[in-house]
Amino acid sequence: MRLCWEGETFVWSSLALINREVARRLAARRDIAISLYQSAPARLDPRHVPDMADLLPLLAPLPGPADVHVRHQWPFRDDPPPSGRWVVMQHWEFGSLPRPWLAPMRDRIDEIWVASRFVRDCCVASGVPADQVAIIPCGVDTALFTDVGPAFPLATDKRFKFLFVGGTIPRKGVDLLLKAYGLAFQRDDDVTLIVKDFGSRTSYLGQGIGEQLAAMAASDTGPEIRLIDTDLAPAELAALYRSVDCLVQPYRGEGFGLPIAEAMAAGRPVIVPDYGACLDFCDADTAVLVPARVVAHPDRIIGDLETVHHPWWCEVDVHGLAAAMRAMVADPAAFQAMARRGQARIRADFTWDRTVDRIVERLTVLTERPARRLARQQAPFAIAGRRRVAFLMLPDWSHPVWKAGLAAYLQAFGPTDDVSLVLYVPPRGAVSLADVETALVATICAVGHDPERIADVIIMHDALGRSDHADLIVATDVYLPCGEALAEAHTEAAHLYGRTVVTAVAAETLRAVAGF
C-alpha cells in the first residue's frame, strides 16, 4: 500500500507529534510505503533534533500514485489530493462544525478520522453520515511517559505541585483554573501551580494570557505560580510530569486531551471536567471529575467560520474545581490508587501502537473501496452497443501481450453472452486501425474461433478527451491490464473509479467477474 501523509512534522506541536509518532510506526510495516508531505515549511531542522532525524528518509516521494492520502493539519482544506482515497484527520473542539466543511466531508472525502467519541458526535450532529466518521484515538509513548526517570528542575520550594499543560487560551480553561486556584489557596500555602504554556509563539500567537501569567508569577501576592514558556522535547515533558503531583486541565473544549493521557501514563492523578473528549479514557475510577455545564455560543460562528448550529463547549464549576484541588493537597496518598488505575488504562488502551493498529484497519477497508470523489462521477460518454458487462483492454498494439487476454475472453464467452470486450486503437497510434483489425482476425482464427461467431468485441478509434484513458475506464466495468506502458496508472485509475481489475486473466476468472 502506498500512503501519503500530509501535515506538519518538524515543529513542537500536538499535530506534528501525532504525525511523527504515527509515521515512524507505519514506516515499520512491511506492507506500507509512506511518504511525508509537508503542508508548511519546517520550523525546526530535523537533522539536529533527535526525535525527528529518523523521519528524514520518509520525505522521499512514493514509487507511484498514493492508494490513500491522509491530511492531518490545521486549518481544514477542501482541495482534493492528486491521487488516492482521501482521508482527513480533523480535530474540532467547539461542538457544531463549520458550515463550509460539511459538503466536502459529506460528499467527497472518503473518511473523516477523529480522536474521540465527542468529536465524532459533533460531526454526526452537524450532518456528516456516521459511517463516514472513524475514531482514531491519540496515543502515548508509554516507554517515555512513565513514573520512572529523571525529574524536571522546577524553580520552587513548595511541597505540592499542580501542573497545567497547554495554550493559555480560553478554550483550554486556564482562566477558570486561576480563579479556582485563587479560591483554594493563599500565598503561604505549601502549594504551587506550574503552567507549561504551549504554542505562544506559533499556533496560539497573540491569543493567550502568557504576559498576565508572567506578571502573576513575578508577584509576591496570591498563591505561587511558575510559568514555563519554552519549548520542551518529549523527554523533557515526560520529566516535567514526573516532577509534579497532579495535572489540572479544566478545558472548555478538547478534541482528545493528550496532556491528560500523558500525565496519567506518568502515574499522576488528574483533575478534569466531567464532560467531553477525555471521558473516552477518564472516569470516576481513573480521574477526579469536576462537574461541568454546557454553554452555547450566542452566534453561529467561531473565528471567521460560520457553523452549522450554535457552537458549544463546557465550563467546570469553579468552586467544585477549587474543592477538588484542596482535597488533592490535603491527602495526596488518597489518590494514588486512582492514579495507578489511570496509568494502567493508558498503557493498555491508548498507546501509539494501538493508534496505528486502528489506522491500518481503516486503511485496509478504504483500499477495498473506490475513491468517493471519483466513483460518483458518471461516464462521460456511452459506448454504443455495449452489453451488460463491458471489459476493457488498452493494448500497446506493437507488442503481442494483448493476444492472451483476447484468447481468454473468447474462451470464457460466446456470441449470446451479455458481455462486450472494448479495445482501444488510438487514432494517431504507431499501428493503424487496418493493421489492428487484421491482427485481431488472425488471432481469433489462431485460437480456433470463427470471427463471425464470437462474443461481442467493440473497437474504439475515436480521440479521447483525456490522455490517461480515464473516460474509457469510467465507461466500462472491468479493466484487463495487458502489458501496456501505462498499465500501472490505468490500474490505479480503475481502482479509484470503483472498477474491477483482473490481472491474472483466465476464462474462469472472467466468467466469475461477469457473474456467470
Q: Output DSSP code: residue 483.
A: S
pLDDT of residue 427: 87
Predicted pLDDT at 354? 98
CA distance 418 to 338: 68
CA 429 – CA 445 distance, rounded (Å): 25
- DSSP SS3 for 380: coil
| DSSP letter assigned to residue 232 | -
Q: Provide the CA 15 distance to its chain's centre, in angstroms.
A: 10
Structure confidence by residue, pLDDT tens digits, 360-396: 999 999 998 888 887 656 566 789 999 999 999 999 9
Measured over the CA atoms of residue 64, residue 67, residue 71 and residue 77, the dihedral's sign is: positive
**For 210-257, where are the alpha helices, taking DSSP H only?**
210-218, 234-242
Is 177 buried (19+), middle (13-18) or exposed (0-12) by CB count in 10 A?
Answer: buried
Q: How far apart are CA 69 and CA 76, in angstroms?
A: 15
- The beta strands (E) that lie in 115-153 are given as 133-135
Chain centroid to CA 283: 26
Answer yes or no: are the C-beta atoms of 168 and 213 closer than 8 Å: yes
Q: What is the mean pLDDT of the chain?
A: 94
- The residue ranking higher by pLDDT, 504 or 419, is 419
pLDDT at 494: 86
DSSP string across 273-308: ESSSGGGGT--TTTSEEEPEEEEE-SSSEETTEEBS
HSE, side-chain direction, 13 A CA sphere, residue 26: 28
Note the pLDDT tens digit of each residue in 382-431. 899 999 999 999 999 988 999 999 999 999 999 999 999 999 998 887 88
Percentage with pLDDT > 90 across the chain: 80
Bridge partners of residue 423, in order along the sequence: 393, 459
Helices (H), 287-371: 318-330, 336-349, 352-367
What value does the mean pLDDT take over residues 228-233?
92
- % of the chain at pLDDT higher than 70: 97
Identify the DSSP state of 465: S
pTM of this structure: 0.78
- Calculate mean pLDDT across residues 85-92: 98
Residue 54, SS3 per DSSP: helix
Strands 389-393 and 419-424, sheet pairing: parallel
* Average pLDDT of the residues in 106-128: 96
Q: Which residue has the higher pLDDT, 201 or 308?
A: 308
pLDDT of residue 208: 83
Q: What is the pLDDT of residue 379?
A: 61
**pLDDT-wise least confident of 62-71, 277-286, 348-357, 440-449:** 62-71
pLDDT at 27: 98
Beta-bridged to residue 422, according to DSSP, are 392, 458
| pLDDT at position 131 | 94
Q: Domains of the chain, with CATH numbers?
A: 2-135+359-367 (3.40.50), 160-330 (3.40.50.2000), 389-513 (3.40.50.2000)
Yes or no: say if 473 and 490 are a contact pair by the CB < 8 Å rule: yes
pLDDT of 8 > 80? The answer is yes
Per-residue model confidence as pLDDT tens digits over 251-297? 999 999 999 999 999 999 999 999 999 999 999 999 999 999 999 99
Distance CA 361, CA 382 (A): 37
Residue 466 — very low, low, confident or very high, per pLDDT cuts 50/70/90?
A: low
| Sequence-distant (≥ 6) Cβ neighbours of residue 151 within 8 angstroms | 239, 242, 243
Residue-wise pLDDT for 13-40, tens only, equals 999 999 999 999 999 999 999 999 998 8
Classify each residue of 189-212 as buried b or exposed e, where b means 16 or more C-beta atoms within 10 Å of its C-beta: eebbbbbbbbbbeebbeeebbbee
Helix, strand, coil shares, percent, the chain, to 5: 35, 20, 45
Distance (Å, rounded) from C-alpha 22 to C-alpha 7?
12
pLDDT at residue 63 in the model: 87
User: How buried is 153 (Cβ within 10 angstroms: 0-12 exposed, 13-18 middle, 19+ buried)?
Assistant: exposed
* CA 145 from centre of chain: 23
In terms of pLDDT, which residue wins out, 501 or 471? 501
Helical H segments across 432-482, by residue range: 433-446, 470-475
Within 10 Å of residue 385's Cβ, how many Cβ atoms? Answer: 8
- Give CA–CA dist 408/413, Å, rounded: 9
Most confident of 47-56, 426-435, 439-448, 497-506: 439-448
